[in-house]
Structure 1
Amino acid sequence: MFLTLVVIAAFCVTNALANFTSYEGYKIYEFKAENTTQQETLEILAQNDAYDFFTRPRIFGLPIRVLVAPADQLQFQQTLEAAKIAYTIVNENFGQSVEVERKLNSMYPKQRNAAPGSISFDVYQRYDVIAAYMEELAKRYSSRVKVTSIGDSYEGRQLHAITITNGDGAANKNVILMDAGIHAREWIAPAAALYVIQQLVENYKQNSRLLTSYDWIIVPLLNPDGYEYSHTHERLWRKTRKPVTIICAGTDGNRNFDIHWGKVGASHTACADTFRGQTAFSEPETQALRDLMHSLTGRAKFYLTLHSYGNYLLYPWGYTSALPKNWRDIDDIARAGAAAIKTATGTEYTVGSSTNVLYAAAGGSDDYALGKAQIPISITMELPSAGQQFDPPLSKIEELASETWIGIKAMAENVIEKYKSAIERKKPRKLRFKNVGDTQTCIYS
């Protein structure tokens, strides 16, 4: 009987996967740019929409990975060889990897090994499970947790934001604002955001100091339409799902913010993965985040957006190689996160401005947070891949999420120390005595 059920389940999963986009025969190439000439060749290749650059660092010696369709592989290899760029093929058949991942993620119970009222990190959770988990937290911890909708996606899904406090009822605390999942295919990012939520709510006692003078507001899945589509139709779908033309849908949400919109690193071609949108803020998802940012003006001190992949902690500007006036403050915070992760796990993160470390791309949420919403610390965190690009193995989800939390926690602690809240500034000073020579002096501290 058990064997029969397994066969039926496998048959159902196979049929459910029939509509998935096939990446059969696609290869993933890895190489490094070792000099300026090679870097220029790669910049030219990156402008070709036929090649999907997973990573494109501008720092010599850092690994670059590109997904190439079977029909384009010969020409791609010849171009690399002509530029004397040594390469390796790290995945001979990306389509096979995607099929295995989808089947496993579909067959395993969504809440396996999860305590009642909690969430499992054994699989990549879908939108409905994520929404239900947040609502359950709001019921169980009503004095400390509130879930609101900041808007609706194009397809009508609520964009949930969870506000986490220490329950003291104090108004106008400083805020740490975080989001994930603006790029649909980066499944590990929402998983990491859920882990942060779990730590702040379910493990409150261990992390209560992070909520003493700051509230946390987290949007764990900013692009639910694209995220669901990447689960059901096209694994590497990146954009939103709002139609643009008869044959093209979706906008790259992280090119859609109104700060030097479309200036560089964003495509005007509707079918391109990096399509900037027909106008700035053309997408209801980016409008919702924009409005949330502005509602927190003066309170929000730290904006963190989670992406994958690449082990990077990046900050503005994305539209120019110039740095913001307070770049040293942001850099200090980012490096605190990188150092904490390296100390704990040995994983190394590269820190720097987006343009100088990766590539120029205008219209990003981190640029907008700093430049328009006046959030002083704005950082993009590109999570590791565990060797599997946008789809770390299911067995690695919790490990990567836990590692990410170590870095986020360290950055948050530094922000909290740097930007004291009004509550802390108004705390009554304690009277104490200090020995000065042979006398005692009364001082406040």
Structure 2
Amino acid sequence: MYEVSMMDRQAGRRLDYSMLENNNSYYEVYSRNGASAHILVHPDAQADILKLLNANMMNYKIVHNDVGLWLQRDFEMNQKLRNLYPYQGKLGTERYYSHDEINQFIEDLAKQNPTRVEVKTVGKSFEGRWLKTIRITNGDGRANKNVILVDGGFHAREWISPAAVVYGINELVNNYEAHAQLLQDYDWVILPVVNPDGYEYSQISPNTRMWRKTRQPSSRHCIGIDPNRNFDFHWNEAGASSDPCDDGYAGPKAFSEPETIVVRDLIHSLADRGKMYLTVHSEGSYLLYPWGYIESLPDTWQDLDEVARAGRDAIKAATGNVYKVGGSAILMYPAAGASDDYAFNAGFPISFTMELPSGRKNPFHPPPTDIDRLVKETWVGIVAMAQKVVKKYPLN
């Protein structure tokens, strides 16, 4: 199996994925925006896919000649790092951590900082894993502060997402003095891993590394749905699939998954105080705001744009990396039933999907050597956006 990066030869024109519809048992488009995409290609279809791309005037390059070999080496490295760096009360950036380790970390933080940190069990995944939020405050005991809600790990294979979220948790708790302003009139509520079943499944073996969905059976032959297509706001419209075997399957109904119900309930429980909802994904260096279901912008798009550009500018100044900012469907592709649209419609005035940057050697799956660089850069952007939100939406 190998990986192909393709791009439309006519600048500014969106890719037409219909050319691949009859070949979907032999490929997976797993990372895309409007004008480019990455495709995993089955060995039996390599010649045919390249012929198809040429016939449709696509520029392309082969990124990996043997994805299976890369996945095997990646798996072995992660197993080695787990043995070298066992969990000992803190989470570093040396490796990717399991869902249980992340839950243990936030529990330990709550024990060590009882006046500023509270961990709450908010639900259970399909396979019975506990979903827990951490609420971080400045410890002054004032109720009814504004709220910033953050989550990660919607898509199982996007390991850098929980890593970045956990890094932010550590900064807010253990580097409190540097971030006191962000906690003066605001509480942060964070769910590090929305989809723990998929996340754990993606770590079992090289063969499961590319898993994206949840793990609840969706048909006789297929498992899981895309949790970021399962929210009841323009559910199962553009950009969502009705095929239970598709990676973008929206589910048999909105909120069919216990994991998305948890996020829904969090959003509604905090909407009266919530000022920013941020969901962290990968990959591509994007700060995306509503709408995702349609190529259009809400009336308050300038508020969204102002906050997103603060994050973009801070990241550019710190690292030189340039994020693209704009409406989700406009910059990338339609994705109906997503959590950011849902949170915005529920009352969060600022709602973003943050697509984290590519790894140096592998665009979609940054190796452990890239974790430290990426999570620190991500935090720079999150802090800048939070500072803008705190100023823009003071506590009444």
Same fold (TM over 0.5): yes
Matched residue, 1:108? 81
Q: Secondary structure at the match of 2:97?
A: coil
Matched residue, 2:67? 94
Query: 2:122 touches 2:262 (CA, 8 Å); kept in 1?
Result: yes
Q: Secondary structure at the match of 1:108?
A: helix
Matched residue, 1:406? 380
Check if 1:150 corresponds to 2:133: no
Matched residue, 2:275? 301
Match of 1:189 among 155, 161, 165: 161
Q: 2:217 and 2:86 mapped to 1: Cα distance?
A: 39
Matched residue, 1:431? none
Inter-CA distance 100–229: structure 2 relative to 1 (3 Å threshold): same
Check if 1:375 corresponds to 2:375: no
Residue 294 of structure 1 deviates from its aligned partner by 0.3
List gaps (5 residues or longer) in structure 1.
Answer: 1-25, 423-445
Residue 380 of structure 1 deviates from its aligned partner by 0.2
Matched residue, 1:221? 193
**Structure 1, residues 367-390: CA drift from partner, whole Å, max 9, x if none?**
10011x211100000001214133
Q: Which has the larger radius of gyration?
A: 1
Check if 1:288 corresponds to 2:270: no
Q: Answer with 188-197 or 43-52: which moved more.
A: 43-52
Task: Give 1:230-309 correspondences, 5 Å limit.
Answer: 230-233=202-205, 234-309=208-283
Matched residue, 1:52? 28
Match of 1:321 among 295, 300, 305: 295
Q: 2:288 and 2:2 mapped to 1: Cα distance?
A: 28
Aligned amino acid, residue 285 of structure 2: N
**Structure 1, residues 113-149: CA drift from partner, whole Å, max 9, x if none?**
98x6321211110011111101000000110000011
Q: Secondary structure at the match of 1:263?
A: coil
Residue 208 of structure 1 deviates from its aligned partner by 1.1
Matched residue, 2:152? 180
Residue 46 of structure 1 deviates from its aligned partner by 6.9
Inter-CA distance 361–161: structure 2 relative to 1 (3 Å threshold): same
Aligned amino acid, residue 378 of structure 1: S
Residue 55 of structure 1 deviates from its aligned partner by 2.6
Inter-CA distance 205–36: structure 2 relative to 1 (3 Å threshold): closer
Q: Answer with 229-238 or 33-42: which moved more.
A: 33-42
Give the TM-score normalised by structure 1: 0.85
Q: 1:186 and 1:320 mapped to 2: Cα distance?
A: 25
Give the TM-score normalised by structure 2: 0.95
Residue 100 of structure 1 deviates from its aligned partner by 1.0
Q: 1:410 and 1:36 mapped to 2: Cα distance?
A: 32
Q: 2:229 and 2:183 mapped to 1: Cα distance?
A: 32
Identity fraction in percent: 47
Query: 1:164 touches 1:200 (CA, 8 Å); kept in 2?
Result: yes
Check if 1:345 corresponds to 2:319: yes
Aligned amino acid, residue 394 of structure 2: K
Q: Secondary structure at the match of 1:307?
A: strand
The count of residues paired between Structure 1 and Structure 2 equals 392
**Structure 1, residues 257-286: CA drift from partner, whole Å, max 9, x if none?**
000100111111111111100100000000
Query: 1:27 touches 1:69 (CA, 8 Å); kept in 2?
Result: yes
Aligned amino acid, residue 29 of structure 2: F
Aligned amino acid, residue 53 of structure 1: V
Inter-CA distance 414–49: structure 2 relative to 1 (3 Å threshold): farther
Match of 2:179 among 197, 203, 207: 207
Matched residue, 2:4? 29
**Structure 1, residues 177-199: CA drift from partner, whole Å, max 9, x if none?**
00000100100000000000000
Q: 1:231 and 1:113 mapped to 2: Cα distance?
A: 16
List gaps (5 residues or longer) in structure 2.
Answer: none
Query: 1:111 touches 1:119 (CA, 8 Å); kept in 2?
Result: no
Residue 94 of structure 1 deviates from its aligned partner by 1.0
Matched residue, 1:9? none
Q: Secondary structure at the match of 1:303?
A: strand
Inter-CA distance 380–322: structure 2 relative to 1 (3 Å threshold): same
Check if 1:83 corresponds to 2:56: yes
Match of 1:68 among 41, 49, 60: 41
Aligned amino acid, residue 200 of structure 1: L
**Structure 1, residues 204-246: CA drift from partner, whole Å, max 9, x if none?**
1111111011000000001000000000141111111111222
Matched residue, 1:363? 337
